[in-house]
Amino acid sequence: MSLRGAILGFLSVEPTSGYTLKQRFDGSVRSFWSVTQSQIYRELHALEREGLVEARTEPGDGKPDRKVYSLTEAGRAALKRWIEEPLEPLVLRHPLLLKLVFAADAPPKKLDEILARYAADTESQRAEYEARLVDPRIFELARSTREREIWRLSIEHGIAWCDTELRWIERARGELSSERAGQKRASRKAK
Amino acid sequence: MSLRGAILGFLSVEPTSGYTLKQRFDGSVRSFWSVTQSQIYRELHALEREGLVEARTEPGDGKPDRKVYSLTEAGRAALKRWIEEPLEPLVLRHPLLLKLVFAADAPPKKLDEILARYAADTESQRAEYEARLVDPRIFELARSTREREIWRLSIEHGIAWCDTELRWIERARGELSSERAGQKRASRKAK
DNA sequence: GAATTCATGTAACTTGTTACATGATTTA
DNA sequence: TAAATCATGTAACAAGTTACATGAATTC
């Protein structure tokens, strides 16, 4: 339902082709909603079958023809319904945490290595967000000040998430590297 | 691959049935890795076909028989491989952010309502984590101080995530409620 | 000359969700 | 007596991933 909503959302800004739609996703919401090209084409076909979008073929000069999709009245209504309908619950799937809890008896070095690599990845993710924050291209799509404001907030959300991850990793590495720490903390449980 | 790894991980602690496995998931990693009962049975069957686990049927008195699965040598090796293999990348799917970026021209009241509801959900999520932190049942599974340490860290991760969400929501609500804020921030872009 | 971009799509697969079915036992 | 718990499973579906195929135009 979220994918569908997002496609309708993008099309409400401007009619576009599947190909361009994929670029829109990648260029804006990728960090909190990634999609593959197959998903987009599949969903567009479904939306067309259901009459929520309609396509018209634009001849490409030299380039292949593009099928430009636009919202129908029904599509516009569906978008509105999607915005108003209750939020789908957030489901975190965090492979690091999962692996960590089963890697307790792996050599501490291995554990620290996993954490270090994740920290590095998170660091570079953070840098990407920072770069985005000053990249005007993301804000080009925005049709209003309010929309720009929201785009910016979404990027700041990413940065805040990275910072939290980094702080947590640091703590985890500290506590898991000192053999004492475990003992000390575990005694809390006894009281 | 993560689901598989986690099942192998749980079975390495102690042979169990699919039913109990589901309870293990729900009782410990649910907040960062949720599963359905169907997934577990399906994966167990696949693991059995591949010879990574083996089942023996324990008669239940009155209750239905339980099929208790345990790791084979191959299964134990597969678990080790999973721990050592590179981490699957974290993929955030954040329905709130997605909806927000397409709800910019919905009435501000609606927007604030969405954020408020999400804040409430996050608040109660946070409370759940806090409760878990002092619930000895989660730590019962742990076979070592180190394991307990990691369980605790995973819960603290959840709390940190909730706090970050809550801070962000507060900021977002503040900035989206005052019409001025948009203007002020947007001017940054100009420089 | 090789790789990338534009633009469409399909097929096969994996993962995750929802809903159903069985049937005894225990609890409210 | 209705419901929840124990314990298994299947079927159908929805969503997401990977890999392939076409073919002209442009860029390296």
Q: Report the residue of chain B nearest A31, measured CA to CA.
A: B92
Whether residues A79 and A114 fall in one domain? no
A35 confidence band (pLDDT: 50, 70, 90): very high
Closest among A29, A81, A71 to A50, alpha carbons compared: A71
Q: Per residue in B96-112, pLDDT tens?
A: 999 999 999 899 999 99
Q: Which of A37-41, A58-62, B41-45, B77-81 has the lowest mean pLDDT?
A: A58-62
Q: Answer whether residue A73 is part of any domain.
A: yes
Mean pLDDT over B140-145 rounds to: 84
Contact A95 B97 (CB under 8 A): no
B chain contacts of residue A114, beta-carbon cutoff 8 Å: 87
- Evaluate if residue B62 carries a pLDDT over 90: no
Whether residues A79 and A99 fall in one domain? no
* pLDDT score for A179: 59
B chain contacts of residue A105, beta-carbon cutoff 8 Å: 143-144, 146-147
**SS3 of residue B166 by DSSP:** helix
C-alpha distances in angstroms, A105 versus A111, B49, B98, B165? 9, 28, 39, 32
**How, if at all, do strands B53-58 and A66-71 pair?**
unpaired
- Evaluate if residue A39 carries a pLDDT over 80: yes
Contact A87 B100 (CB under 8 A): no
Whether residues A99 and A124 fall in one domain? yes
Concatenating the DSSP letter of every residue in B122-164 gives HHHHHHHHHHHHT-HHHHHT--SHHHHHHHHHHHHHHHHHHHH
Mean pLDDT over A64-85 rounds to: 95
* pLDDT score for B190: 39
Mean pLDDT over A142-164 rounds to: 94
**Total-model pTM:** 0.91
A chain contacts of residue B152, beta-carbon cutoff 8 Å: 185
* pLDDT score for B179: 59
Whether residues A173 and A134 fall in one domain? yes
Whether residues A131 and A181 fall in one domain? yes
Q: Which of A36-45, A59-68, A73-82, B92-101 has the lowest mean pLDDT?
A: A59-68
Closest residue by Cα to the C1' atom of nucleotide C23? B64
Closest residue by Cα to the C1' atom of nucleotide C26? B63
A1 CA vs D14 C1’ separation (Å): 10
Q: What angle do CA A12, A14, A17 make, to 5 degrees?
A: 105
Q: Report the residue of chain B nearest A12, measured CA to CA.
A: B102
Residue A25: give its domain's CATH number.
Answer: 1.10.10.10
- Cα separation, B110 vs A146, in Å, equals 14
Whether residues A69 and A151 fall in one domain? no
Confirm if B96 and B125 have CB atoms less than 8 A apart. Answer: no
Q: Answer whether residue A150 is part of any domain.
A: yes
Contact B95 A87 (CB under 8 A): yes
Q: Per residue in A116-128, pLDDT tens?
A: 999 999 999 999 9
Q: Answer whether residue B89 is part of any domain.
A: no
Contact B167 A160 (CB under 8 A): yes
Overall number of domains in chain A: 2
Whether residues B113 and B183 fall in one domain? yes
B62 CA vs D2 C1’ separation (Å): 20
Of A28, A49, A84, which residue sits at a domain end? A84
Q: Which domain holds residue B39?
A: 2-84
